[in-house]
Structures are given as structure tokens and as C-alpha cells.
């Protein structure tokens, strides 16, 4: 028998409004923290690819930025990423926060305009915040607004309902060869994940303004050089540059006597070490790049 007859492979875009739990889902499905998660909306800014391999399928998930009405160039780029992920996908997992009233079925119906006639599985997330009796009527309402392939209540956070979701995704994938070697988890490089970890700590440690005005990039990533002249012998050296939009933000980010930034560095280093499985020496620098979120050229250079 042709092996392709029983192996499925395809792209699954995970899409939805900001903060509904898309990145959390990806991390739980892959059993690995591939995409950063924070309580703040608009955490994810670029598509993140995560590959789930099983004997019967290869699922290539694309975590996307939350869908929003763009107010500046960075947000336009974020929405473009969502649309390109949808265009590339064989199946969409459209996620809503079932506990959030703004995600009522009529609202979700409007968002279906974005789905480009793809097969859509509706994931009703955060059901851990609902009472059981609320669920059935909700499913019934959603079922009337779009011909979903399935409506699956889940709790990404508690890994509840994910088996059923995977089953449904698998059913809707085309038969075919895998796209990536079976030991691949993502196509991004270590640098990307390291920068994202730093950004996550900034999202978690600061209020409203700072997280959104920060961009993080890795300027230097040097693997440990076992030389006696090397001051940080035995550790990778990572220099991360944090760009902010205004001088005042630089001050807040750094904090009194550098204490605030130090905390970012400490938390980020711990997580980077766990991620890489080896010790690192992490240095953080802050620079002002006036209004970078609105500058096409800068954004392009930043990979948006
Ligand atoms: N109670 C509950 N909280 C959840 C669940 N899934 C995610 N969350 C929380 O919701 C918040 C947002 O989660 P993310 O995974 O960052 O959401 P996202 O959709 O990727 O957000 P953006 O990247 O901003 O679009 C975080 O605080 C998560 O811990 C869930 O099943 N139950
Ligand atoms: Mg996200």
C-alpha cells in the first residue's frame, strides 16, 4: 500500500482576537514553550511555526498575532501575517474566549469574513472559566453562524479537550508527505526565541506603555569559547538590544540605578538557559528608535 494513503500532513493556522489563548494552545500541543504568553493582548507579533509529529500525521501549526483593526504600521504588518497564515493553511483553528462577552456569536460571525473559505474548526477556549450548564447553549448559538467543521470546547491552559481538537484537525488534513523532518519543532532560529523570551519578561514586568513600545533583537550570540582569555568562559554570550520609542521610555525601562532592567535580565536569563539547556551570559542594552512602530523601513529591517 502507498504510505501516503494513511499519512496526513498540512498547515493549521491558529487565529482569533488578541488574548484568547492561541499561543497557550500551541505550547500545550507541542509540550514545549514555543510562543510567548502573557496576560496582555497583542503579545504575539509575528507568526510562529510549531510542528507536531505523530505516526499518522505531521501538523504544522502557525500561531498568529491577534486580529485587530490596525492603528499603526506595526499592527498593519501583524494583520498581514494573520492573513498570510490563513492563506497558507489547510485548516483554520478559529479560537474564541468563551468566557468573554465581546466574543459573542454575532461578533464571531463578522470575523468569519477573514477565513478565505477554508475549513474552520471553532475552538471555544477558557471553558475552565465557565459553568458547565453555559456550554451547550453557547455551542448551539455558534453552530448557527458558520458551517464550522466542528465546535470544540477546550481549556488550553488546563490541556482540556485537546485530544478531541487534534482528532478533528487530523480528519481535515490532506494526505501527503511530511513537510519537515520528524525531529523538527520549528523553523525559527534560537535567536528568535531568545529575543521573544526577553520581550515576554518586559510584557510581564511593566505596565501598559512600555511593553508595546519595545522591540527586542539579538545583536550578538556567541557560543561558548573554551579559551582562558574569554572572561565568561564556558557560557554563551548573548547581547540583546531593546529599542523603545522615546527617551522617557528608556528611563522607565532601565529604572532607578538600573534595577528594573536588571530584573528583566535575570528572569530572561533563567528562561533562556532552560530553553537552550546551557548557561548563558546575557547583556541587555536599551536604545531609542524614535517611533519605530510607525516606520516602514525600520519595521522591514526588524523582520516585519
Ligand atoms: N483561564 C484560562 N486562561 C487562559 C487559557 N488559555 C490561555 N489563557 C490565558 O489567557 C492569556 C492570553 O493567552 P495567550 O496564549 O498569550 O493569548 P494569545 O491569543 O496568544 O494572545 P495574543 O498573542 O496577544 O494575540 C494568558 O494570561 C493565558 O494564561 C485557558 O484555557 N483558561
Ligand atoms: Mg499569542
Tell me the per-residue pLDDT of 180-220, one tens digit each, with 9 for 90 and over.
Answer: 999 899 988 999 999 999 999 999 999 989 999 999 999 99
Q: Is the pLDDT of residue 22 over 50?
A: yes
Provide mean pLDDT across the span 53-58: 96
65 lines ligand 1 (CB under 6 A): yes
The answer, yes or no, to whether residue 230 has pLDDT greater than 80, is no
Per-residue pLDDT, 100: 87
Residue 128 beta carbon below 6 angstroms from any ligand 1 atom: yes
Q: How many CB atoms lie within 10 A of CB 56?
A: 9
> What mean pLDDT value characterizes the chain?
94
Q: 65 CA distance to ligand 1 centroid (A)?
A: 12
173 by Cβ neighbours in 10 Å (0-12 / 13-18 / 19+) ranks as: buried
Pocket test for ligand 1, best of 17, 19, 62, 196 (most atoms within 8 A of CB): 19
Q: What is the pLDDT of residue 1?
A: 47
User: Under 8 Å CB-to-CB from 136, ≥6 apart: which residues?
Assistant: none
Spatial CA neighbour of 214 closest among 259, 258, 261: 261
- What's the rounded mean pLDDT across residues 93-97? 97
Atom 2 (ligand 1): residue with closest C-alpha? Answer: 126
CATH 3.30.930.10 fits 3-171, yes or no: no
Phi, psi of 18 (to 5 degrees): -60, 145
pLDDT tens per residue, range 103-153: 788 888 999 999 999 999 999 999 999 998 989 999 999 999 999 999 999
| Residue 118 Cβ < 6 Å to ligand 1 | no
Cell 547581547 belongs to residue? 239
Amino acid 2: pLDDT:
55
Q: Is the pLDDT of residue 231 over 60?
A: no
Task: Report the percentage of the chain scoring pLDDT > 90.
Answer: 86
Q: Residue 80: which of 68, 92, 90 has the closest Cα?
A: 68
Phi and psi dihedrals of 302, rounded to 5? -80, 0
Please, which residues bridge with residue 121 across strands?
93, 150
Cα angle, residue 167 at apex, residues 28 and 109 outer, rounded to 5°: 80
Name the grid cell of 67: 486580529
pLDDT for position 224 = 81
Q: Which residue's CA is the nearest one to ligand 1's atom 32?
A: 126
DSSP state of 175: B
Q: What is the mean pLDDT of residues 19-46?
A: 96
Domain borders along the chain are 3-171, 190-301
Ligand 1 closest atom vs CA 160: 31
Give tens-digit pLDDT for 155-185.
Answer: 999 999 999 999 999 999 999 999 999 989 9
Mean pLDDT in residue range 242-270:
97
Among 24, 129, 212, say which to mutate for ligand 1: greatest number of ligand atoms within 8 Å of CB: 24
Q: Which CATH superfamily is domain 190-301 in?
A: K homology (KH) domain (3.30.300.20)
- Of 18, 30, 37, the residue with max ligand 1 atoms within 8 A of its CB, to mutate for a pocket test, comes to 37
Question: Is 79 a residue whose pLDDT tops 80?
Answer: yes
Burial of residue 273, with CB atoms counted within 10 A of its CB: 0-12 exposed, 13-18 middle, 19 or more buried: middle
Atom of ligand 1 nearest to the CA of 39: 27
Confidence category of residue 3, pLDDT binned at 50, 70, 90: low
Residue 10 vs residue 4, higher pLDDT: 10
Amino acid at each position: 500500500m502507498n504510505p501516503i494513503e494513511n499519512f496526513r500532513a498540512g498547515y493549521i493556522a491558529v487565529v482569533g482576537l488578541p488574548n484568547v489563548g492561541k499561543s497557550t494552545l500551541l505550547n500545550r500541543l507541542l509540550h514545549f514553550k514555543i510562543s510567548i504568553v502573557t496576560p496582555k493582548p497583542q503579545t504575539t507579533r509575528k507568526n510562529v511555526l510549531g510542528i507536531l509529529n505523530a505516526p499518522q500525521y505531521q501538523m504544522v501549526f502557525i500561531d498568529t498575532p491577534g486580529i485587530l483593526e490596525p492603528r499603526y504600521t506595526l499592527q498593519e504588518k501583524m494583520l498581514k501575517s494573520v492573513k498570510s497564515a490563513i492563506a497558507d493553511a489547510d485548516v483554520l483553528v478559529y479560537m474564541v474566549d468563551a468566557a468573554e462577552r465581546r466574543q459573542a456569536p454575532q461578533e464571531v460571525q463578522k470575523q468569519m469574513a477573514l477565513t478565505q473559505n477554508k475549513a474552520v474548526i471553532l475552538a471555544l477556549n477558557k471553558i475552565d472559566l465557565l459553568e458547565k450548564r453555559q456550554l451547550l447553549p453557547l455551542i448551539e448559538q455558534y453552530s448557527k453562524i458558520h458551517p464550522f467543521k466542528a465546535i470544540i470546547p477546550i481549556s488550553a491552559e488546563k490541556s482540556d479537550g485537546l485530544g478531541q481538537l487534534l482528532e478533528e484537525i487530523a480528519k481535515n488534513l490532506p494526505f501527503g508527505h511530511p513537510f519537515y523532518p520528524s525531529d523538527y519543532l520549528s523553523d525559527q532560529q534560537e535567536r528568535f526565541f531568545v529575543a521573544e523570551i526577553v520581550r515576554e519578561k518586559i510584557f510581564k514586568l511593566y505596565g501598559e506603555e512600555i511593553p508595546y513600545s519595545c522591540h527586542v533583537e539579538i545583536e550578538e550570540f556567541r557560543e561558548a569559547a573554551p579559551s582562558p582569555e574569554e572572561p565568561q568562559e564556558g557560557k554563551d554570550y548573548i547581547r540583546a538590544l531593546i529599542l523603545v520609542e522615546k527617551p522617557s521610555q528608556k528611563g522607565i525601562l532601565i529604572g532607578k540605578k538600573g534595577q528594573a532592567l536588571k530584573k528583566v535580565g535575570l528572569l530572561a536569563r533563567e528562561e533562556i538557559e532552560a530553553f537552550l539547556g546551557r548557561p548563558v551570559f546575557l547583556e541587555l542594552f536599551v536604545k531609542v528608535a524614535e517611533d519605530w512602530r510607525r516606520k516602514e523601513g525600520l519595521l522591514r529591517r526588524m523582520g516585519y
